[in-house]
Amino acid sequence: MSEITIAIIDRSQFFRTGVRQDLSAQRDFSLLDCDPDIEPLKFLEANSVDVVLLDIGSPISEGLDLAREISRYSPNTRVIILSSYFSEEELFETIKTGAVAYIDKRTSAEELVSTIRKASRGEYPINDSVIARRAVAERVLMQFQEIASMGLVIEKVAAPLTHREIQILGCIANGSTNKQVAHVLGISELTIKNHVSAILRKLNANDRAHAVALAIRNQWVSVDVK
C-alpha cells in the first residue's frame, strides 16, 4: 500500500495534535503539521503533500483563499475543508475553491479516514454533500450558467479538446466522480485522471469547476438541473 502524505493546516496546535492522534493508527498515513501563517504553499511543495486537511477557521475568507491558492498552485494536492460551522453557504463557497471535500470538524475518525482515502484516490466526496442538498446543487449550476452567459470567464483556450475530453467534461459538469466517469465510459480511472489533467491544462483552468464554467460558456456541454 502506497503512503499518503497528509498535511494538517490549522492555527491550533491542540487541534493538529488531536487529528494526528485520531489518524495515527493508519500505517500508510504520513502526517505533517502546518501552521497556516508560515508559508503553507512552500511547505506543501517541499513535502510533496497528497492531501491537505484545512481548517477554514476565522476569518473564513482567509481559509477559503488559502484553499483556492492550493488548488491553483498545487493541483495534485487534494484539499479537504474542515469546518466548525458546517452550513450550506460555506459548502457553496467551498465548492468554488476546488476543494474535494467539506466536512464537519466534529466528524468521527472513521469518517475522516474514509474521506481522506477517497480524496487520495481522485474521488470528490464533496459531490455527495452537494447531491444531498438540492438548493446548493441548483445554486452551483445556476452560477456556472450565469458565468457562461455573462462572459466573465475570458481566459484563452490553450488547445482544442478532443471528443473524449468533451465527453468526460460533460460527465464532470453533471456531478460525476472520476470513478463514475470511468465506469460509464468503460476505461480506467487512471486514464480519466490523465484526461482531466489534460483538460485543465488545455483550458488554462484552475480546477474542475473553472473548467465546467468554460465548457458551458463555449456550449461544449450541457448541465442538467433535476
Report the phi/psi class of residue 77: left, alpha or beta, with left for phi > 0 and alpha for psi in -120 to 50: beta
**Which ranges constitute the DSSP H helices of 84-188?**
88-95, 109-120, 126-131, 134-150, 163-173, 178-185
Hey, is 212 helix, strand or coil?
Answer: helix
What residue type is 119 in one-letter code?
A: A
End residue of a domain, out of 98, 116, 131? 131
How many structural domains does the chain have? 2
State the pLDDT at residue 103.
87
In the predicted model, residues of the chain with pLDDT beneath 50 are 145, 147-156, 158, 225-226
- Are residues 146 and 118 located together in one domain of the fold? no
- Are residues 16 and 119 located together in one domain of the fold? yes
State the pLDDT at residue 223.
60
Q: Are 103 and 112 in contact (CB under 8 A)?
A: yes
In whole angstroms, give the CA distance from residue 182 to residue 38. 39
In whole angstroms, give the CA distance from residue 6 to residue 110. 16
**Main-chain phi, psi angles of 121, to 5 degrees:** -90, 5
- Are residues 94 and 195 located together in one domain of the fold? no
In whole angstroms, give the CA distance from residue 199 to residue 165. 7
Q: Chain centroid to CA 154: how far?
A: 22
State the pLDDT at residue 4.
94
Rounded to 5°, angle at Cα 169 from 163 and 174: 135
Which CATH number fits the domain that encloses residue 190? 1.10.10.10
State the pLDDT at residue 114.
92
State the pLDDT at residue 68.
84
